[in-house]
């Protein structure tokens, strides 16, 4: 008897750091079909994670190219070689052009409740602002940084004693659940974008699933 995969399609992940969110895709139940991870940093820990999983990884360093356009063209070629159905920005710390993000369905994970605190210092900015709630957001990538339509969010309470490291660690635990769910929805054809509103459609394989199930706050 043949076994049909639970998730059809191919995922290419872009990551600049340790790749914990890419690992979350691999650790999902069932695992997401990650075809490759591509990084801009030769020393990025995501490469070790991919090697351990037997999955290809590639490096497309910015310094090896004359300008941003040449680097982005090389990155696009590397991604396209794996024919992805969805590209996941999993801690990728480079700004991408509108033309690049429009080429594939692209999901980004961000450590704040967007539109609050976009950018590279979201956790520190939230603490500096004195918020009582922060959280994680998965959204479709757009030309403007951290501004695309929101797929899913989950709140994380901020403790008075929190540091950037302690708050970020709790937010990452939420990201590790939220991102695989959003990727599975996209691969399953369950996300419909209507302007800025993203609808999560019911699972056609599960008559009891009404869709639009928000996560519980942490």
Own/partner pairs, 115-121, CB within 8 angstroms, 24+ separation: 115/146, 115/147, 118/145, 118/146, 118/147, 119/145, 119/146, 120/93
Q: Is residue 58 part of a domain?
A: yes
Q: Is residue 100 part of a domain?
A: yes
Q: Is the entire prediction scored with pTM above 0.85? A: yes
Q: How far apart are CA 5 and CA 34, in angstroms?
A: 13
Q: Is residue 6 part of a domain?
A: no
Q: Is residue 29 part of a domain?
A: yes
Count of domains in the chain?
1
Residue 193 pLDDT > 70: yes
pLDDT, tens digit (0-9, with 9 covering 90-100), for 28-48? 999 999 999 999 999 999 999
Tell me the mean pLDDT in the region 93-115.
97
Please tell me which residue in 3, 7, 65, 110 is annotated as part of the active site: 110
Which residues contact residue 172 at a Cβ distance below 8 angstroms, ignoring those fewer than 6 apart?
20, 21, 111, 136
Q: Is residue 166 part of a domain?
A: yes
Q: Is residue 84 part of a domain?
A: yes
Catalytic residue list contains 110: yes
Averaged pLDDT of the chain = 93
Q: Is residue 87 part of a domain?
A: yes
* Placement of tokens 């996560």 in the chain: 215
Give the DSSP H/E element, type plus range, for residue 108: strand 106-110
pLDDT, tens digit (0-9, with 9 covering 90-100), for 114-161? 999 999 999 999 999 999 999 999 999 999 999 999 999 999 999 999
Q: Is residue 169 part of a domain?
A: yes
Assign residue 54 the CATH number of its domain: 3.40.50.170
Domain around 84: 11-200
Q: Is 100 left (phi over 0), alpha (psi -120 to 50) or beta?
A: alpha
Helical axes 20-27 vs 46-53, angle rounded to 10°: 20
């Amino acid at each position: 008897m043949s076994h049909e995969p639970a998730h059809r399609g191919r995922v290419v992940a872009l990551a600049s750091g340790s790749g914990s969110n890419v690992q979350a895709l691999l650790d999902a139940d069932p695992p997401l079909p990650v075809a490759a991870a591509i990084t801009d940093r030769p020393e990025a820990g995501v490469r070790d994670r991919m090697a351990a999983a037997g999955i290809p990884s590639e490096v497309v360093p910015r310094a090896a190219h004359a300008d941003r356009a040449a680097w982005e063209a090389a990155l696009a070629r590397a991604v396209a070689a794996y024919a992805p159905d969805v590209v996941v920005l999993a801690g990728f710390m480079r700004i991408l052009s509108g033309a690049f993000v429009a080429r594939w369905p692209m999901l980004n994970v961000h450590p704040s409740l967007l539109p609050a605190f976009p950018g590279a210092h979201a956790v520190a900015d939230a603490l500096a602002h004195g918020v009582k709630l922060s959280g994680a957001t998965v959204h479709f990538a757009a030309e403007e940084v951290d501004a695309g339509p929101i797929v899913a969010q989950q709140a994380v309470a901020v403790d008075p004693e929190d540091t950037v490291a302690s708050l970020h660690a709790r937010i990452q635990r939420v990201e590790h659940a939220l991102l695989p769910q959003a990727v599975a929805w996209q691969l399953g054809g369950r996300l419909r974008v209507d302007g800025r509103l993203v609808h999560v459609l019911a699972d056609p394989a599960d008559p009891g699933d009404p869709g639009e199930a928000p996560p519980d706050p942490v």
